[in-house]
């Protein structure tokens, strides 16, 4: 198994190959994307790291402090507070979510720049357009050379874990 060093958030993260997203988290991300439209929604993903898989069982919304279409960011203080609360409950920090209204689920140049701050952190991006499109993709930057990889996402039923999909 390959290992990368990430940051103070998590050390020695395995290079993830698959993201298992609980159905309830998928639906919550969809609702957040709809609610925030035409602005970008954003939040934090939590769950469990198991080898080369991440099982996402919880989503916490963050306030987008940039109220301009096509951009997002959040208060680092709020982000760290949420991470600390969930780690106290025994959950692993998996990464970030944000939406691209009327866009593509591919990381923008601004996204890639931010992803460099925490190599190994998963970024789930939703392309959303009302009554037309909702597509999720997950990405990770593996090094400081801007190379990024797509992570396969499987939406699973509640109670499913590990390599079992719905």
Residue 8 within any structural domain of the chain: no
Count of other CB atoms within 10 angstroms of residue 49: 15
Residue 10 within any structural domain of the chain: no
Residue 29 within any structural domain of the chain: yes
Cα–Cα distances in angstroms (integers) from residue 44 to residues 40, 111, 146, 164, in the given order: 14, 15, 22, 24
Residue 77 within any structural domain of the chain: yes
Q: What pTM was estimated for this model as a whole?
A: 0.86
Banded pLDDT at 10 (limits 50, 70, 90): very low
Residue 97 within any structural domain of the chain: yes
pLDDT digits (tens, 9 = 90+) for 24-43: 999 999 999 999 999 999 99
Residue 4 within any structural domain of the chain: no
CATH number of the CATH domain containing 124: 3.40.140.10
**Residue span of the structural domain in which 23 resides:** 18-153
pLDDT digits (tens, 9 = 90+) for 101-146: 988 999 998 898 888 888 888 999 999 999 888 999 999 987 666 6
Residue 2 within any structural domain of the chain: no
By CB atoms closer than 10 A (0-12, 13-18, 19+), residue 118 is buried
Residue 163 within any structural domain of the chain: no
Number of domains in the chain: 1
């Amino acid at each position: 198994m390959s290992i990368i060093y990430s940051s103070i958030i998590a050390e020695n993260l395995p290079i993830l190959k698959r993201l298992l997203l609980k159905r309830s988290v998928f639906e919550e991300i969809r609702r957040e994307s709809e609610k925030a439209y035409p602005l970008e929604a954003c939040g934090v993903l939590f769950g469990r790291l198991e080898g080369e898989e991440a099982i996402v069982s919880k989503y916490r919304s963050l306030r987008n402090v940039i109220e301009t279409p096509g951009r997002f960011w959040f208060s680092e203080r709020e982000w760290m507070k949420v991470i600390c609360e969930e780690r106290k409950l025994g959950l692993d920090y998996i990464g970030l979510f944000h939406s691209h209204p009327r866009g593509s689920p591919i990381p923008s140049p601004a996204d890639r720049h931010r992803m460099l701050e925490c190599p190994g952190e998963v970024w789930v991006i939703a392309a959303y357009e009302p009554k037309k499109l909702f597509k999720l993709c997950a990405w990770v930057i593996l090094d400081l050379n801007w190379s990024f990889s797509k992570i396969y996402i499987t939406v699973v039923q509640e109670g499913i874990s590990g390599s079992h999909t719905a």
